Chains A and B, each alone.
Chain A
Amino acid sequence: MSERTLRGKVAIAGIGETTYYRHGQSPDAEFKLALIAILEACRDAGIDPREVDGFASYGGDRSEAVRLAAALGIHELRFSNMHWGGGGGGVAASVANAAAAVQSGMANCVIAFRSLAQGQFARYGRANQLASVGGDDAFLAPYGLMSPAQRFAMKITRFMTDHGIRHEALRAIAMASYHHAQTNPRAVMNGRPLTEEKYDASRWIIEPFHRLFDCCQENDGAGAVLVVPADRAKDLPHRPTYLLGAAQGGHHRSAAPVHNAPDYASAHFKTVARNLWDMAKLGPQDCDVVQAYENFTGGVLLSLVEHGFVDPGRANEQLVLDNLLAPTGRMPMNTSGGNLAECYMHGLEMVNEAVRQLRGTACNQVPGADVVAVLGGPMVTPVSSLVLGSEASL
């Protein structure tokens, strides 16, 4: 039996995004933002948008595949896919699902995308006013545990306390994103640098490890990538970005109700990372750049540990700013500014940045980058991650 893998079989041929806005500032409707990003990804790939035959998204995207297909007048819809789970846990999975559709022959030319105008709908950081709540929330919300930050905080408290990891390690993660955003004209936080003093003086969102700058923004915008068979990508305008590895899911009972996951102090990547590296036939030591989704900096720490980039016993030494900066750091991370400082586009902006690094066109280019890891939203479940590479990495 031949090996079942996506490694080297498909490529990202085009990337697109809208202008990124602070939440509530988009002049365009959320669905229009989706259309703009998708058209941009097609233009970038040199492919007629009518040739797109599939759409994959995540996080409960409101821009439905069938409406997109009708609005864009595509010839034929062959694949539509929504990945379960909230937030950005599915960002890498949406690309992987598009890739699986292309590799299996179900479709030829699939857009993975995310469109999000929080200003036009509910905000993530503010709970809806309700008289009563059912399900899991009945055991959480009456105690004032409602927001994403609050859902994850106790994982971080436990892990960092157990391993003696200091808040300064999280500060380095936040500062790396803000540093990179200063040279990225797309970044919402361009022109708004972050210093140690500003971070340390920022208000508590949640003790003991969430200051304001440990938490992502809320934004309006859209991002999209176009996934095609590897052979086709070679004939298109840009150097192909190959998918080397992809995995999604969660470890044993990671979604157990009311915070009862047996392995609780986790980003939920333990099995996912193993499967990712197995398919990629690579490990963390082979990656030139890391894009690690920041919902909260503590989640980045957990994600980096579970993917093998950071040793929990050495996190205080490894997570220092110099190590995380392009082009000279040992582990350049979130090189466009990430969710914290480029745009909270549920991580789709990180896939675009990975492609730019591999094309050699990033604002904070790591010279000769051939392998980039994209670690999707941590601490939700299911989670997902990707390894992307240049021709040289195949």
Chain B
Amino acid sequence: MSSTALPNALPSGLPAPAIEPLTQPFWEGTRAGRLVIQRCKACGKHQWGPEWICHRCHSFDLGWEAVAPRGRIWSWQRPHHPVYPALTGFGPYTIVLVELPEADGVRMVGNLLVPPDAPVTLGADVEAVFEPHDDATPPYTLVQWRVAG
């Protein structure tokens, strides 16, 4: 885990995440450099993405807890064709689906911080990199991933 002075994974101008009541603890966590996700206070299981109810036990009493910012690559893609103005002339870039074995196997989507022609291996260990967008209104921090070294 690190906060980083690396360049951002993607160009500026992409949509910012709206900070909504259901998701606010996650975004507060990333600003503090922590990966905070839902964990049911009744059955103790993690779930992701955020929902108002625990899909396992139907408790509405969902807490939020920091989890280890480590995972492994479950799948990946490398878009070339830009579908958004800010991406025109950029790309290709790498998107990964990361499974968090230490949080009941929930999965997160982010960019893998590798050169655009680097091979990607399913099952590879990765760690979170917090990418601040301090100039945004309101500021927010994305979670990116790099191969664990």
B48 near A257: Cβ-Cβ < 8 Å: yes
The CA-CA distance from A381 to B24 in the complex, in Å, is: 27
Chain A residue nearest in CB terms to B55? A253
A155: chain B residues at CB < 8 Å are: 75
A258 near B81: Cβ-Cβ < 8 Å: no
Residue B83 lies at the interface, judged by CB distance under 8 Å to chain A: yes
B95 near A127: Cβ-Cβ < 8 Å: no
Residue A272 lies at the interface, judged by CB distance under 8 Å to chain B: no
Residue B35 lies at the interface, judged by CB distance under 8 Å to chain A: no
A204 near B107: Cβ-Cβ < 8 Å: no
Q: List B residues 1-54 near A (Cβ within 8 Å).
A: 9-10, 14-18, 20, 23, 47-51
B17: chain A residues at CB < 8 Å are: 132-134, 138-139, 141-142
B79 near A205: Cβ-Cβ < 8 Å: yes
A207 near B92: Cβ-Cβ < 8 Å: yes
B9 near A143: Cβ-Cβ < 8 Å: yes
B81 near A204: Cβ-Cβ < 8 Å: yes
Residue A203 lies at the interface, judged by CB distance under 8 Å to chain B: yes
Q: List B residues 75-122 near A (Cβ within 8 Å).
A: 75-81, 83-85, 87, 92-93, 95, 97, 106-111, 122
Residue B74 lies at the interface, judged by CB distance under 8 Å to chain A: yes
Report the minimum CB–CB distance from B9 to chain A (whole Å). 7
Number of B residues with CB within 8 Å of any CB on chain A: 39
A154 near B75: Cβ-Cβ < 8 Å: yes
Task: Provide the A257-287 mask, 1 if CB < 8 A to any CB of B, else 0.
Answer: 1111000110000000000000000000000
Residue B129 lies at the interface, judged by CB distance under 8 Å to chain A: no
Number of A residues with CB within 8 Å of any CB on chain B: 44
Q: List A residues 38-72 near B (Cβ within 8 Å).
A: none
Known pairs A143-B10, A149-B79, A207-B77 / 4 extra A-B pairs, C-beta < 8 Å = A147-B83, A154-B77, A205-B81, A264-B75
- Name B's A-contacting residues (CB within 8 A): 9-10, 14-18, 20, 23, 47-51, 55, 74-81, 83-85, 87, 92-93, 95, 97, 106-111, 122, 142
- Name A's B-contacting residues (CB within 8 A): 125-127, 129-147, 149-150, 153-155, 157-158, 161, 203-208, 253, 256-260, 264-265
